Amino acid sequence: MMKRQDSARMTEIMENLAPISNLLTEEQIKELLYHIRIRKLKKNEVLYKEGDVPQFFHCLINGKVKVCRDGVGGRSQIVRIVKPVEFFGYRAYLANENYITSAVAFEPAILYLIPMQIFDKWIKTNLQLANYFVRFLAVGLGVSDRRVVNLTQKHVRGRLAESLLVLKDTYGFEEDNQTIAARMSREDLASLSNMTTSNAIRTLSAFCSEGILAVDGRKITILDEDQLKKISKIG
């Protein structure tokens, strides 16, 4: 718990949380600065897992986090990936449920954690803040609906192409403006694309032979983004 903040740290927190800090009252800002926690996750460290009771409202500040769920036979399915600065981990609390997903850092990450009791009090007394999260959840539901259709109806090439574009749109490119600024294992890439790891490896190899991608370990460089978008679109 961070009971005292120096001026620079307080400014940093307020700027990082600008989507909601701008909507908070002066009293709520004081509560935020008093109760907020900073948590650092190592690669593959679990933030919360399926069945846990929601305790904190989370905001990813830096790094990369995947939200996943175990399916049939214990096979993990990545539901979505979280980008900075994005809020997550509160739907279960609002639904009065335990978590039905897990959140894991697939690269080192830094997060802000706010106790759920504080978050709950805010949205019950701050209409602007409540409306913000209603819209946030509504947009997220639309994205999830489209992803469900695409992952069940597209062929493996279309699914993998879409996942690579999602990674690019979420985390951007490195300085060369071609290499995706995320390092995801083949297993995670397959999970994000709803396919087996062997299919993901074969499809990546095919994209490389076609001059669409260049792959070096977990580093993926998009050489022909227009063609990748075309494959994603036609499925």
pLDDT the model gives residue 76: 83
Mean pLDDT of the chain: 91
Paired residues of 57 in beta bridges: 114
Q: What is the mean pLDDT of residues 58-78?
A: 89
pLDDT the model gives residue 75: 78
74 pLDDT more than 80: no
pLDDT the model gives residue 145: 84
Assign 140 a pLDDT band (cuts: 50, 70, 90): confident
pLDDT the model gives residue 203: 96
| Distance separating alpha carbons of residues 196 and 141, to the nearest angstrom | 25
49 pLDDT more than 90: yes
Which domains occur in the chain, in start order? Answer: 7-150 (2.60.120.10), 154-234 (1.10.10.10)
pLDDT the model gives residue 152: 80
Which letter does DSSP use for residue 46 in this model?
A: E
What's the distance, Cα to Cα, between the start and end of the chain in Å?
A: 48
Assign 95 a pLDDT band (cuts: 50, 70, 90): very high
| Distance separating alpha carbons of residues 165 and 14, to the nearest angstrom | 31
2 pLDDT more than 60: no
pLDDT tens digits for range 101-136: 999 999 999 999 999 999 999 999 999 999 999 999
pLDDT the model gives residue 143: 85
3 pLDDT more than 70: no
Percent of the chain with pLDDT over 70: 97
pTM of the model: 0.85
52 pLDDT more than 70: yes
Q: Are strands 56-70 and 76-82 parallel, antiparallel or unpaired?
A: antiparallel
Q: What is the mean pLDDT of residues 6-30?
A: 88
74 phi-psi bin (left φ>0, alpha ψ -120 to 50, beta other): left
Q: Are 119 and 58 in contact (CB under 8 A)?
A: no
Q: What is the mean pLDDT of residues 183-204?
A: 94
